[in-house]
Amino acid sequence: MQQYAELRERLTERKAALEQRLKQSGELGMQEEKGTLSGSTGELSQYDNHPADTATDLYEREKDIALYEQMSREYEEIKQALDRMENGTYGICERTGEQIPYERLEANPTARTTVAYGNGQLPANRPVEEDVLESFDRYNFDESDDETEFDAEDAYQAVGRFNELDMVFEDASLDEEDELIGYVEEMEGFVSTGIEGYSGAENIQFQRNVHYDQYMNHLR
């Protein structure tokens, strides 16, 4: 393991630094006597606190917990890497048994596998918010004849009605010139019958409205 002497020194220094940070942080307010939010903030009660202040305290506590868990995880990975150096298995891929390139170990001294079997892939259980963060196009059914529901574009237009400043975003808040929503078929916007309903083609009336004009423009 002589070729890994420099990496051993880096890992040892990082391990000592993490130990110092974990000790100085006092486990970041997670001791037994500070197990509650009131204990971590020093407040006797959260009753008279403004909700925004309580939310800020909660955010800071969550951040401290996340940082503590990250440091603890890194500390354990460094300890395991140093143990592998002691037993002579450092630098050997745990999946294939092949030698891990030195360049990879230099970039990530705690690596346990080669790049092909590394943990660089995104986890399978992604946050549910990512299902709707791609774009409106994923839930835009304008081009589908089988979908007539209120889609993402319609939701954007509905919310845009409350915008007092037009053209604030990349498109106008109310872009209804190219799309007239509210009907499954285009002709339903201008075709009507009497109170008796449909009783023959001779009873159909055409309303000369904006729906009719747009429909005729498409035919030209």
Tens-place pLDDT, residues 184-200: 677 777 888 888 888 88
Percentage of the chain exceeding pLDDT 90:
23
Domain boundaries, the chain: 2-117, 145-179, 180-220
Hey, CA dihedral for 189, 192, 196, 197, is it positive or negative?
negative
Most confident of 30-39, 66-75, 201-210: 66-75
CATH topology assigned to domain 2-117: Four Helix Bundle (Hemerythrin (Met), subunit A) (1.20.120)
Query: Which residues on neighbouring strands pair with residue 99, listed in sequence order?
Result: 92
Q: Give pLDDT, residue 207.
A: 85
